[in-house]
Amino acid sequence: MSIPLMEPAFEYCFELRCRVEDPVQLGGTTPGEGLHFARVSGGTFDGPRLRGTILDGGGDWWNGRGLAVELDARYVIEAEVETGTAGVEVVNRGVWRTDDATWARIVAGEAVDERELYYRTAFRFRTDHPELRWLTEYQFVGYARAEPGYVIIRVFRLA
C-alpha cells in the first residue's frame, strides 16, 4: 500500500514587528547564559490575513547556551475585526542561533536578516472571537530577523 504523503507547504499570513526591551538576567552566572526575561513593550503587525497592535506586557523568557537561545515568549496582540479589535494570546516558542561574526554585528546595532540568523519559531494563538477562530485551528511557524530594539517575525500557516 502506498500512503499519500504531503509536501509541507506554507501560506504567509502577517508580520509581527515586536518591540523588545533589554533583558534582565534571571539564571546563570555568565551574561547571555541561562534564563533571561525581555519585556515585550509594544509594536504592530500587518499582512494579508491580519493586522493590529502588540500590547505592552508579557515578554520572552529566553534561555541561552553559548550562541544558541531557546525562546519562550508570551504576550498579547489586539487584532482588527469587523466591530473593532479583539485580544489574542500569543505563545511563541523556538530557537535562535548565530555565529560570532553575526553576533558582533547585532551588538553593534546592525540589522540581521532571516538568512544570516537561524531564528525559527512555532506559534500558538488563543482567542474565542469568531472571526479569529482560524488562528486557533492552524499550526503556525515564524521566520524572524533582528533590528535594534525589535524582532520582526513573519508568520506562516502550515497547509
CB of 107 to a second copy, least distance (A): 20
Buried b (16+ CB within 10 A) or exposed e, 120-148: bbebebebeeeebeebeeeebbbbbbbee
CA distance 134 to 136: 5
Cα separation, 49 vs 4, whole angstroms: 29
The residue assigned the cell 553575526 is: 102
Residue 114 is a binding residue for a second copy (CB under 8 A): yes
- Answer for which of 19, 44, 53, 136 binds a second copy (CB under 8 A) is 136
Please report which helix (H) or strand (E) contains residue 30, including its range: none
Closest separation in Å from C-beta 8 to a second copy: 5
Q: Does 101 contact a second copy by CB under 8 A?
A: no
Q: What is the residue-wise DSSP string for 124-137? A: EEE---GGGGGGGT
Q: What is the footprint of a second copy within residues 57-96 (CB under 8 A)?
A: 57-59, 61, 68, 70, 74, 76, 78, 87-89, 93-95
Q: Does 115 bind a second copy (CB under 8 A)?
A: yes
Q: Other C-beta atoms within 10 Å of 111: how many? A: 13
For 63, the grid coordinates are 534561555
In the complex, the smallest distance separating the C-beta of residue 87 from a second copy, rounded to whole angstroms, is 4
3-state secondary structure (DSSP) of residue 27: coil
The answer to the question of residue 41 lying near a second copy (CB under 8 A) is yes
Q: Which residues contact a second copy by CB under 8 A?
A: 3-6, 8, 10, 21, 24-29, 34-35, 37, 39-41, 55-59, 61, 68, 70, 74, 76, 78, 87-89, 93-95, 97, 111, 113-115, 118, 120-122, 124, 126-128, 136-139, 141, 143, 145, 154, 156, 158
